[in-house]
Amino acid sequence: MNAPQLHREGGPSARPVTAELEHRASEIERALEIGGDRIDPRVVEQVTARLAGVRERLALGVDHTVVALVGGTGSGKSSLFNALSDFDFADVGVTRPTTSKVTACTWGGKADPLLEWLGVEHDRRIERESDLLGDDEAALRGLVLLDLPDHDSVDPAHRAVVDRLLPMADLLVWVVDPQKYADDALHTGYLRRLEAHEAAMLVVLNQVDTVPEDQRAPLVADVGRLLAEDGLDGVPVLAVSARRGEGIDTLRARLAAVVGRRSVAAERAGAELHDAAALVSSQVSRREPATFPQEQFVDAVAEAAGLEVIADAVEAVVRGNDVRVPEFGAVGHDTVQLARSRWLDQLEAGLTSRWAAALGEALPPVGVLARAFDDALHGVETQARPSRAAGVVQVLAGAAWLAALAAGSVVLGTVLMGVVSGGGLVAPGWGPAVLTALVALGCGLVLTPTALAVRRWSARKRAATVRRDGRAALAGVVSEQLVAPTSRVLDEHRRVRELAGEPLSARRLAPEPGPRPEGTERSDGTKPSDGIRPSGSTSPSTAPGPGPGTP
């Protein structure tokens, strides 16, 4: 699938991106439908929730970029919100740990439908840009900045709000402080679960005014090191002080660059679809079995039914032996059970437990299979009689021997008469008799082994026909009762795998890089691309950790 063409403005020009994301969501949804109960219900619930969130966000358009400030208690997140909005509106200080309300500041007109979707109360909304400010805030038009509750609050309701809003935000700005930036609740509880979302993340190290200047760079580098250990190498780290205003202009420039691209919402939706597709892919194997063990099944049943014994008896009858051709024996349930188990063992290898169970349920029970084999074998013709062709040749051989004997008798009588009459051993007229005797003798010598050879050939041919027809009858049952249902299950498995496919990642939705603000160095001294770096891919067959909305 070709990567969609992104546009830098919202409105009608963004429709190709929205259509591409909607199509991708439909593919994943179709995979859930086909997979049915062979996909873990918990995965279905998570994927369904992600798809619903993506569609709700896309329905609101991509004209606004939702940026969420996320941080723990004491990180100065609300002070940073006030510094960015230039309003003392967010709860700061002693009131902060007691509120679970979300504060929102919008630039560039009302975003009421979006704020309603986010669940921001009316008295917690402010508009930063107005006619009085002119174009001073033009660079941030389209920004919706959220101040979320503390993710490490002792009140579970606060974390519930955070977990609900994280998947809904387009850009996550994690606010940490010099004392708690290595907090395990942040890294284990959130960051390590967001590996595929590194393209929509930014880390702000606040309160750097409390750190000596010569220690700030190593501190930023250490934050980058921890992010790399979380699988988030390349996430920008900015050092700021909301209290003194240090780095605020750099952060505002970064947000302006992100908002100006008008693609962050699409990137975030792409990341959510990436996670949804990876979750679905975790429910299927990388590939389906290439071949089915049909011959092994037929061999086992043919042996149990006595196909070889019957074919040998037919061969003996055609050869002329006086034997009785037995009937096919009933195929034992134990034989069918063993062959069925071997069938499943070979085909279930590599499948997830739910798909393996579905494969077993798709096959008929042992009793049904055994009856089907018995019925098929009863239709195989096993009657036999001595070879007619061999009989004809044998008759001709007998006639030749009789002719040779008769001609020999004539020659012998002629010779004796010649001796008695005194004419010697050679008598007139004995030449034709000698010739006839020799020809008849030759025919007898040729036709006798020929009759034997024809009898053997006919016997082998008839026995081969019995074997062929018997195996064909058994193979027909295997094809209908085993191959067909197995193929249906594996075809559905293949379809789910293909629909999930290579998850749609932020790399495929990456916009052209914008201008690079200052102060965006990585921990290794290099500078990432503006705002959002393309995310790394996740193996389709590996389930990601729970998303932000999954405690």
Residues 39-57: pLDDT tens digits? 999 999 999 999 998 888 8
Is the pTM higher than 0.75? The answer reads no
Question: How many whole angstroms separate alpha carbon 545 and alpha carbon 536?
Answer: 15
pLDDT per position as a tens digit, 429-454? 556 766 766 666 666 566 566 656 66
Measuring CA to CA, which residue among 150, 62, 46 is closest to residue 103?
Answer: 150
- pLDDT value at position 490? 94
- Sequence-distant (6+) residues with CB within 8 A of 450 are 393, 397
Domain ranges of the chain: 64-261, 288-498
**Structure tokens of 546?**
């729970």
Q: What is the pLDDT of residues 485-517, one digit of tens each?
A: 999 999 999 999 999 986 544 334 433 333 333
> Among 49-58, 214-223, 411-420, which is the least confidently predicted range?
411-420
CA torsion angle 361 364 365 368 (round to 10): 170
pLDDT of residue 187 exceeding 90 = no
Percent of the chain with pLDDT over 90: 27
Task: Please count the residues of the chain.
Answer: 551
Q: Is 360 helix (H, G, I), strand (E, B) or coil?
A: helix
Contact between residue 447 and residue 397 where contact means Cβ atoms under 8 Å apart: yes
Task: Identify the band that residue 205 occupies on the pLDDT scale cut at 50, 70 and 90.
Answer: very high
CA-based diameter of the chain, in Å?
159
Q: pLDDT confidence of 397, banded at 50, 70, 90? A: low
Cα angle: 154, vertex 158, 160; to 5 degrees: 115
Mean pLDDT (whole number) for 158-183? 88
Distances (CA, A) of 361 to 49, 133, 191, 335, 505: 29, 69, 41, 19, 36
Closest Cα partner for 201 from 171, 238, 237, 231?
171
Q: Which of 538, 545, 537, 526 is nearest to 237 (CA)?
A: 526
Q: How many CA atoms lie within 13 A of 440 on its CB side?
A: 18
Helix runs in 36-175, H state only: 41-59, 77-85, 112-118, 156-165
pLDDT of residue 317: 77
Beta bridge partners of 70: 174
| Domain topology for 64-261 | Rossmann fold (3.40.50)
pLDDT at 95: 47
| Distance between CA atoms of residues 377 and 373, nearest Å | 6
